Each structure stands twice: as C-alpha cells, then as structure tokens.
C-alpha cells in the first residue's frame, strides 16, 4: 500500500521530473496532473507495474474549468490487491479538447468516456464508440459546460418551461 506522495515519486522516476506535477486543494484528496499525451502510458504503467497494480478505474469524470477555458478529466483509480487509491487529472484547452482514451486499459472507461463526451464535450481519441449516452443522439451542445445554453426546440417541441 502506497500513499499518493509515494506513488507520485515512483511515477516521476519512470516518466521524468518535469512531466507530472502533484497538486492538491486546501481540503480533500491530492491528484497528479498528467499531460494529455502521456495519460495512456501512465495508465498502463499504473495498471501493470507490480508495485502499483491499479486494476480498477473507479470513476472518470469530466470537468469544465470556465475561468481557465479548459476541460479536465479526473481519473480515480484503486487497487483491490494492494488497496491503495490515486487520482489523476488531465487538462486540455476547450477549443481542442482531445484526450487519448483509456478504454483499452480499463473497460469502465468505455461508458464513462461516452458520458464525459456527452455532457462536457471531451473528445476521447481512439475510443471505439464515442457517441452520446444519456442524451438523444441529435441533442445540441454539452449541458455540463458552465456556459451551456439549452436549445429552444427539440424536434419541434419546446424545451423551456
């Protein structure tokens, strides 16, 4: 069992000093900020390394950082074998929201990435079936963005009150 700080040090040795950074708020849990291009390699390493063995992705959530004009994806991992957990985060500019998919590493990501695409518009590259999951296929926009404006009509029906 490793603490998040130890996991960060361990990853730093593998992926280089200046690629990853360790961040935290005033309360709650810390996370490791990973460049989008590296997320798949880091994930694979986290899953397969014998000292980490993160065999399960608990949760994948999209976030819209309005002030920074960025979209974020938070990955919460845990290991049922070694019983430790870690959070990773990727941030990408909103006008080019491409993040490599981790579907091939953890199957949980399949539906969660579809949800993040549906509600926030994060584009997951190489996802086998990236289409809307909760909303109808022909819905416009991504509702969980902070600046979302609901379409007035959906198939001729008013959506307002």
Least gap, CB of 128 to another protein (angstroms): 12
CA 153/CA 149 separation, integer angstroms: 12
Least gap, CB of 41 to another protein (angstroms): 18
Nearer to another protein, 16 or 48 (CB): 48
Least gap, CB of 109 to another protein (angstroms): 9
- Cβ–Cβ < 8 Å for 45, 14: yes
Nearer to another protein, 42 or 116 (CB): 116
What residues are paired with 72 via a beta bridge? Answer: 63, 91
| Helix H or strand E segment including 93 | strand 85-93
Residue 2 to residues 32, 33, 113: CA-CA distances in angstroms? 14, 18, 27
Least gap, CB of 74 to another protein (angstroms): 7
Q: Residue numbers of the site for another protein (CB under 8 A)?
A: 24-29, 31, 55-59, 61, 63-64, 74, 76, 80, 83, 87, 106-108, 110-111, 115, 119, 132-136, 143-144
């Amino acid at each position: 069992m490793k603490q998040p700080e130890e996991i960060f040090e361990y990853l730093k040795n593998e992926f280089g000093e200046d690629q990853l950074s360790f961040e935290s708020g005033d309360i709650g849990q810390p996370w490791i900020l990973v460049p989008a291009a590296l997320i798949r390699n880091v994930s694979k390493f986290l899953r397969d390394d014998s000292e980490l063995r993160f065999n399960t992705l608990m949760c994948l959530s999209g976030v819209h950082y309005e002030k920074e004009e960025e979209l974020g994806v938070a990955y919460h991992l845990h290991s049922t074998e070694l019983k430790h957990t870690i959070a990773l985060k990727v941030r990408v500019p909103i006008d080019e929201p491409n993040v490599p998919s981790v579907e091939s590493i953890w199957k949980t990501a399949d539906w969660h990435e579809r949800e993040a695409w549906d509600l926030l518009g994060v584009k997951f590259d190489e996802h086998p079936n990236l289409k809307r999951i909760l909303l109808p296929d022909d819905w416009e926009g991504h509702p969980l963005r902070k600046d979302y404006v609901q379409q007035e009509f959906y198939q001729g029906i008013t959506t307002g009150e």
